[in-house]
A and B are shown apart, each in its own frame.
Chain A
């Protein structure tokens, strides 16, 4: 379970995230939805212990992200915005590096990598260096790297960015599979259809603040819109347009 309570973060004078609270449950897929620059990445970075919140708290499986970062890091798998692979290492070596850093012993790690190779369908490219990978292949390796220590919590920052239809489908299968295993999946997106097809719960962020938290059906009910994109624009975009006309 991921629990955020009043998270705020500013960079110099720019307020990126303001008093963000939400909860993502185990066995559910929760979407962090918002337009570009709404504060999604900053929120995920705070949860992943990369940056410290100015105020507020966040807990991953009852471990505080500020007080127990090491425990949190063992309990969370992060797919960053940019896959960030080492170009001169092979796909397998990229995964193995993080597996070692997670403290997994060699026999377990070998088994785990074999398992992930099969599950993510990476066998025909993962022994090559990642320099020439397609975007889909890069995301798969980055995902395998995030899952290598079998974390209970998986945080994905706009995972479908730049993927074609086939790769997006494959990724959707993988995410649903994680849900079936009872994992807590939190992913950020700005594409409503993607969220509609996949998610149980949705958290809408606009201008650094939470505009809505609840189920997809709840969003429909509250906004009075049957079409979810309209609901999203109404929730998050209203202030954006107000901001731009100022």
Chain B
């Protein structure tokens, strides 16, 4: 057995025995997809439900405006008639009603006079449920009715109704439930990158700053093993746990994704095993890169705690650009492929969306990130050759 494999095996066993740390490094990989699918189901169910749900509200004084009521009832509404009460506000405040439309007794009188009529809508603006949607739909319905009356009146007086409508805006909302789903899906690569870094997070600290803090580095350095083999064994162990973390994430996602009602929004999203394997292969150099980067930074830290602080920032570095590119909607381009974490995440985004990725892009991403990983590993070896590593 070479020194490399002895160190590798020892670090793996050592880390596997730390159950609590193990769980916290893999928790994101395990629970992330479940959380992710949960959010998707929630958002999609809402998006799907909204268009069908009737508008719910109560009416006080329905008998004063039978024509308006007939119009409202013809819409997609669910109306409850209520007897007049002294203070309708209290009905909303104590939660008996969420939205009340009040028609005043002088409605008929003002209507025949042609005077403006004001209706009241009582609601609780801090209520985050469907009240706001019901309110805006009710506004729409009442405005529509009002417009029809207005047009009729203008016509009766022999005036072209369009004169009262010099400019109008027509809204064309193309956001479908599928588009919403894609927006959420685009955050998936962010998770993927984070999971790769989290998997090796604690091991990278334990094998470097932790080892020094516990005093075991000193005797270890008196063993007849080259520093290169020693560091490679440590980086390899950290990589293995990064890879395990990614694997757990992909399996968890693979099992959870069928729960999202993609078929109901007319989307044929498939994160099958081919996509999973491709994502894993694209992610491989990033796993090494992450392990080497974490090891190098943790080697500078004097204590476990200090290393934890440093590495928390290190994890932010590869994930921040992802958020920016996601906001700017950047697709895979050749220069981007030279940037680790960015290249992987854009490629993964395309794969998840079911689009094909260019082989050249994959090759560049794979090879450049591998080179960076090798360079960082060399830096780690260099750090371990210096006496300062003993602290």
Contacts and interface: CB of A to CB of B under 8 A. Distances in A.
Interface of A: 45, 48-52, 70, 73-74, 76, 78, 80-89, 93, 97-98, 100-103, 129, 142, 145-146
Nearest to B17: A88
B290 to A, nearest CB: 23
Contacts, number: 72
B219 A102 contact: no
B223 A73 contact: yes
15 contacts: A50-B387, A51-B390, A73-B223, A78-B219, A81-B218, A84-B215, A84-B217, A85-B216, A88-B17, A88-B18, A89-B13, A97-B10, A101-B3, A102-B224, A142-B219
Contact of B219 (A52, A74, A98): A98
Contacts of A98: 219, 223
B267 interface: no
Interface in B372-391: 387, 390
A188 to B, nearest CB: 14
A9 to B, nearest CB: 9
Contacts of B17: 88-89, 129
A142 B215 CA distance: 11
Interface residues of B, number: 24
A133 B317 CA distance: 41
A76 B219 CA distance: 11
B215 A101 contact: no
B224 A101 contact: yes
A7 to B, nearest CB: 14
A149 to B, nearest CB: 9
B222 A48 contact: yes
Given A93-B13, A146-B219, 19 more contacts: A45-B390, A49-B222, A50-B387, A50-B390, A52-B387, A70-B224, A78-B219, A80-B219, A81-B215, A82-B218, A84-B219, A86-B10, A86-B214, A97-B10, A98-B219, A101-B223, A102-B224, A142-B219, A145-B219
B387 A51 contact: yes
A50 B227 CA distance: 11
B128 interface: no
B215 A80 contact: yes
Interface string B208-247: 0000001111111111111000000000000000000000
B14 interface: yes
A68 B224 CA distance: 11
A84 B214 contact: yes
Which of A51, A70, A76, A84 lies at the interface centre, i.e. has the most chain B CB atoms within 10 A of its CB?
Answer: A84
Which of A50, A74, A83, A101 lies at the interface centre, i.e. has the most chain B CB atoms within 10 A of its CB?
Answer: A101
A129 B224 CA distance: 25
A74 B222 contact: no
A89 B223 CA distance: 18
